[in-house]
Structure 1
Amino acid sequence: MGDLHPVTIVIIVLNALVSLKGFNDFSFREKYLFNIGAIRRGEQIRMISSAFLHANPPHLIFNMLTLYFFADAVIFALGTINFIIIYVGSLLIGNLLSYFFHKDEYHYSALGASGAVSGILYAAILLNPEMKLAFILIPIPIPAYVFGIGYLLYSIYGMRAQNDNIGHDAHFGGAVGGYLITLFIAPFLLETSTLMVILLAIPIIILFVMIKLGKI
């Protein structure tokens, strides 16, 4: 990727510093994580502050590595301001979706930058349709859009099953935020990447149909 853009470095450092504080200070983490009851009492700051906290070092490292690999591609294509808009917008949309699904669960809590990072990931896929990803366990590079669609479908499954502690709704909401905001900023993608726009819309349509049918 070359040298990281200063904005990417600032975001990674902020996440690291706030998360490290949270690892060592339980009261600090509890004060700023996403919590339905607290938000409904008026502590809306948690909608943003929770995205700079992480559950543990692996959680932090995974999110920041993902940001490291994809952030500069978005900055290079759309500029710093638009990158920040996508990052913050995806963060908020992810948490708003979590709020929508858990608004009556006063003890529900969550934390992490996954929503914002998912938004950047999907923006990068839209902007670079030919992008390929390689994983340690999968030596053959796969198209990024295959990973993206699979990621959203798995998030839908997780939202429906609710059998783990992962905030799948925030992941999905962040990805949707990145998708929609990127298309708003760069509408030319509707013409230059029409197939990719359609393919990435499929899981989003599936989710809304399942919500309409009461399946989630």
Structure 2
Amino acid sequence: MYNLNPVTIAIIAVNVIVSLKGFDDRLFFEKYKFNVGSIRRGEQIRMFSSGFLHVDTTHLLFNMLTLYFFANAVIFALGQLNFIIIYVASLVFGNLLSLYFHKEEYWYSAVGASGAVTGILYAAILIRPEMNLYMFFVPIPIPGYIFGIGYLLYSIYGMKNRIGNIGHDAHFGGAVGGYVVTLMLMPSLFKTDLGHIGLLAIPIIILFVLYKTGKLH
């Protein structure tokens, strides 16, 4: 068991309270979800509020469990304030990337803390690339940096092929936000772990190349 930091508890609590409100109040859910048309009409609050709404309890539970497992690694290394900065920056960056790729799809909507949580996950991997992750369907531990690279490559695949009802672009944007902000807050990593920084940048470079060559969509 992990000892939860008060900041992590507070973020989980806000997610649970806002999500439960959204489950019971459809007007509330519709007012604060990510929606391209509404955001382009000036409702910028949705860029932030949508990160605390969820589709259902399974969606909420999965995101909060992921946050639970990786929050401490970031807080121990960077402190509570920087953890909050990474969380919020990843949430917003994920939605910004989603808005950019769907800017002409006025009907496009999304909710969830996935972008923010993915940013925390990527920050934790960047700080501790040697950490081992265990997946339900893989009986052996996976090095954190291998998981990070694989996750973002899958996100690119999901973005390119529109796989499932999943915001792959928000996941990717959140991870990039976590990656960039963590390096800004902890530049010493460039001296101690430049190799892993370079490896974790590979999916970001691939996405950029695919976009520039028009092969993303």
TM-score (norm 1): 0.98
What residue is the counterpart of 2:194 in the other structure?
194
Structure 1 residue ranges without an equivalent (≥5) = none
Q: What is the alpha-carbon distance in structure 2 between the residues aligned to residue 144 and residue 150 of structure 1? A: 10
TM-superposed deviation, 1:136: 2.7
Q: What is the alpha-carbon distance in structure 2 between the residues aligned to residue 129 and residue 193 of structure 1? A: 9
Q: What is the alpha-carbon distance in structure 2 between the residues aligned to residue 42 and residue 202 of structure 1? A: 35
TM-superposed deviation, 1:164: 1.8
Q: What secondary structure does 1:140 align onto?
A: strand
Instruction: Name the aligned partner's letter for residue 5 of structure 2.
Output: H
What residue is the counterpart of 1:172 in the other structure?
172
- Matched-pair identity in %: 69
Instruction: Name the aligned partner's letter for residue 17 of structure 1.
Output: I
Instruction: Name the aligned partner's letter for residue 7 of structure 1.
Output: V
Instruction: Name the aligned partner's letter for residue 18 of structure 2.
Output: V
Q: What secondary structure does 1:106 align onto?
A: coil
After superposition, what is the alpha-carbon deviation per residue over 1:25-48, rounded to whole angstroms, capped at 9, x for unaligned?
Answer: 111111100001111111100000
Q: What is the alpha-carbon distance in structure 1 between the residues aligned to residue 143 and residue 2 of structure 2? A: 22
Q: How does 1:8-23 map to 2 (within 5 A)?
A: 8-23=8-23
What residue is the counterpart of 1:116 in the other structure?
116
Instruction: Name the aligned partner's letter for residue 16 of structure 2.
Output: A
TM-superposed deviation, 1:195: 1.2
TM-superposed deviation, 1:137: 2.5
Q: What is the alpha-carbon distance in structure 2 between the residues aligned to residue 196 and residue 148 of structure 1? A: 11
After superposition, what is the alpha-carbon deviation per residue over 1:149-207, rounded to whole angstroms, capped at 9, x for unaligned?
Answer: 11100000011001321000000000000000000110110111111101100000000
TM-score (norm 2): 0.97
What residue is the counterpart of 1:135 in the other structure?
135
Aligned CA-pair RMSD: 0.9
Instruction: Name the aligned partner's letter for residue 152 of structure 2.
Output: L
4+ runs deviating over 4 angstroms: none
Q: What is the alpha-carbon distance in structure 2 between the residues aligned to residue 120 and residue 20 of structure 1? A: 23
Structure 2 residue ranges without an equivalent (≥5) = none
What residue is the counterpart of 2:98 in the other structure?
98
Instruction: Name the aligned partner's letter for residue 20 of structure 1.
Output: L
Instruction: Name the aligned partner's letter for residue 59 of structure 2.
Output: H
Q: What is the alpha-carbon distance in structure 1 between the residues aligned to residue 121 and residue 34 of structure 2? A: 22
The answer as to 2:139 corresponding to 1:145 is no
The answer as to 2:67 corresponding to 1:28 is no
Q: What is the alpha-carbon distance in structure 1 between the residues aligned to residue 173 and residue 214 of structure 2? A: 18
Instruction: Name the aligned partner's letter for residue 101 of structure 1.
Output: F
Q: State how many pairs are aligned.
A: 216
